[in-house]
Structure 1
């Protein structure tokens, strides 16, 4: 009889069940919030890191490339209507000193150079001597940039080399340091709305190409370099070129980039970066 009474009293009352359900509900809600906060924090940190990686990559890559630019080959193009901006420069292929040059008013169809220690002088490439303005690099009419027609072998005795032009040339101004720069084609970094692209393989032109013209140019190749860029070209252009030439350096480039997070456009990262261009004419 006593055993039957014990078995009858061994269950849960309705109040106990309700209390247990309430407690379990509170624990479940609290646990889910902790899990949700953790997931939100992880996504937030991942997006921040993604934006940071994008910004570091494009700034470091652009900085490294600009330091090897032909003097006065840097120029910018801003289109506030389409929120696009480009910086263009020409990479140096080889550089050294010239020995015998036809400086105006003299003229000649050849030029004697010191053979570069790295790389090689090649036909159909360009040679610039003492460029002190953008037009001296991109416009052959300035008589500071010329197209190489053919190249002689290196003289083993004095390491000199003679290059030839299709017609007689007369260099407008000689370099105080007797420097020359050989180059082939320009490179452009363009901000197009929220992305930055790198263009190469297109010919140099007197007027700077915009992104639409670059994409339509023959043999051009381009790569996506960064996303989530939120610059407004109207209020703050991303690229500024300040040229103060000397025998030691050409000038400097100020880079201003604003990166916004994917899920919160109100939170942005700002980068102000100054690049010294060491190459002088």
Structure 2
């Protein structure tokens, strides 16, 4: 009787296939979680860098502007949501007494004095401040006071390259103990406003004799406890502004910044 040939069949058993599927599923699950975690970590890192850049921009901008603020002009409202100040465009000492005077001789550095054509009336329309310690005088100008508008500016030619004469719209009411003056043109205001559960910081600017106009957004998505507080200047101390800003991240957490700016008071 002839023998039948038997061929050995090769392949995977059902059990082996099931085991492979299970292993691939486990590997895929852990791989996807690993990739997902790294994507989230990357997105968080990018978001943190964006918010750090926002913080750096805002705090540097405010610090730089406040470096030239007249110390007695800085004011923060009661709830810490708005801060206003007057930056000076020139400063120095004046000659003689200015109390009761509308014609004043100023000493200023030559570069400032000759900012443009010496006879171009550069500072006309700006205001001179002589020891203005009442903050209200900066934001509600009336005459006579320690603040007066410059109607005529003229650089003095001749032997003294640092002297300039100004004519004012009204008489000044007092002298500074060290004959100090500031010249200013504009006022600046930063405000925190709450919109849809988050805070926004905006900036606006106006001439000293005008009302504040439209604001420009500086940064948004701040925490609702963000605020500004002021330790006011006196004749013997500087003004100090404390900024407390929380920058919200996409995951709901926040980065908190506590920053202080000192406005030097020169009597």
SS of the aligned residue for 2:168 comes to strand
Alignment of 1:1-281 (within 5 A): 5-6=7-8, 8=9, 10-77=10-77, 85-103=81-99, 107-120=100-113, 122-138=123-139, 139-141=141-143, 143-158=145-160, 159-167=162-170, 169=171, 171-193=172-194, 194-200=199-205, 202-204=206-208, 214-215=213-214, 222-232=215-225, 238-246=227-235, 250-264=238-252, 267-281=253-267
SS of residue matched to 2:73 = coil
For the Cα contact (< 8 Å) 2:129–2:146, is it kept in 1? yes
The CA distance in 2 between the partners of 1:4 and 1:52, in whole Å, is: 75
Looking at structure 1, the residues matched to 204 and 137 of structure 2 have their Cα atoms a distance apart, in angstroms, of: 22
The CA distance in 1 between the partners of 2:169 and 2:64, in whole Å, is 35
> RMSD over aligned Cα, in angstroms?
2.5
Contact 1:72/1:243, CA 8 A, preserved across alignment: yes
Deviations for 1:7-42, whole angstroms, at most 9, x for unmatched residues? x2x111111111111111111111111111111111
Q: Report how far residue 59 of structure 1 moved.
A: 1.3
2:70, 2:144 → 1: CA distance? Answer: 16
Deviations 1:122-172 (A, max 9, x none): 1111100111120233333461100000112323312322111245x1x22
Deviations 1:196-232 (A, max 9, x none): 12212x23369xx6xxx632xxxxxx43322221133
Alignment partner of 2:41: what SS? helix
> How many equivalent residue pairs?
251
Query: Relative to structure 1, is the Cα distance of residues 110 and 60 closer, same or farther in structure 2, using a 3 angstrom cutoff?
Result: same
